[in-house]
């Protein structure tokens, strides 16, 4: 796959050499550079695309992603805002903006972004999962019930479902002392994702909770 992406980049470079005014070629090359973790090069491509066509929404999104991947979240937020200004119905832009806001510590603003992303696309698990995580980080009164609803959204309502929703749900249930519910959630997580890095930890937690009931 990596070799094919590099071949595709070289094809775009040849096409750009013939007609450098085509913003779509710069955007496509930038996207592939991101896939190869060549984020600085990706940013240069998207800058070239946006210089030629400032309303290229994918250019703003991909540029933001590349910046965020380099830890430059404040700059990434500016790109996501440009994307949203052109196309506010983009659930991806709201989701990625929420992620960068999380990294800056602005959890309340991030939750607002995830709410918008869920409103636009209720089937994407990442928005549900990350909203729940932000609520847990904030720790405000009543956060746990809302977080449980978010994790359930990731595990049940999303398409495809995200098994990690069950694990995070179980952690909250265990913290609330709802051990029977936590056991069920851990078991659903292990059944859905037996090879996940957290599967062994979930199995141990189930055994510990069951031993407390004996």
Mean pLDDT by 10 residues, the chain (214 residues): 84 96 96 96 97 95 97 98 97 98 97 98 97 92 92 95 96 94 96 96 95 73
pLDDT in tens, 12-36: 999 999 999 999 999 999 999 999 9
**Number of folded domains that form the chain:** 1
pLDDT at 1: 67
Tell me, what CATH number does 57's domain have? 1.25.40.10
Q: Mean pLDDT of all residues in the chain?
A: 95
Nearest to 8 by CA among 47, 34, 40, 44: 34
Q: Which domain holds residue 50?
A: 1-87
The model carries a pTM of: 0.91
Contact by Cβ (8 Å): 43, 67: yes
pLDDT at 142: 85
Domain annotation covers residue 39: yes
Sign of the alpha-carbon torsion through 41, 76, 143, 88: negative
């Amino acid at each position: 796959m990596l070799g094919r992406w590099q071949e595709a980049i070289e094809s775009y470079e040849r096409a750009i050499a013939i007609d450098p005014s085509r913003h779509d070629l710069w955007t496509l090359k930038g996207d592939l550079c991101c896939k190869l973790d060549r984020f600085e090069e990706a940013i240069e491509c998207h800058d070239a695309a946006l210089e030629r066509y400032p309303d290229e929404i994918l250019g703003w999104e991909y540029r933001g992603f590349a910046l965020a991947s380099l830890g430059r979240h404040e700059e990434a937020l500016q790109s996501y805002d440009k994307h949203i200004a052109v196309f506010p119905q983009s659930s991806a832009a709201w989701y990625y903006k929420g992620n960068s806001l999380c990294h800056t510590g602005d959890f309340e603003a991030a939750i607002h972004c995830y709410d918008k992303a869920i409103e636009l696309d209720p089937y994407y698990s990442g928005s549900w999962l990350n909203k729940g995580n932000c609520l847990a980080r904030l720790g405000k009164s009543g956060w746990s019930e809302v977080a449980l609803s978010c994790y359930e959204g990731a595990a049940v309502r999303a398409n495809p479902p995200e098994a990690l929703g069950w694990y995070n749900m179980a952690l909250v249930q265990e913290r609330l002392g709802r051990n029977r519910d936590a056991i069920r959630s851990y078991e659903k997580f292990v059944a859905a994702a037996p090879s996940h890095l957290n599967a062994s930890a979930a199995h141990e937690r189930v055994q510990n909770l069951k031993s407390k009931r004996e």
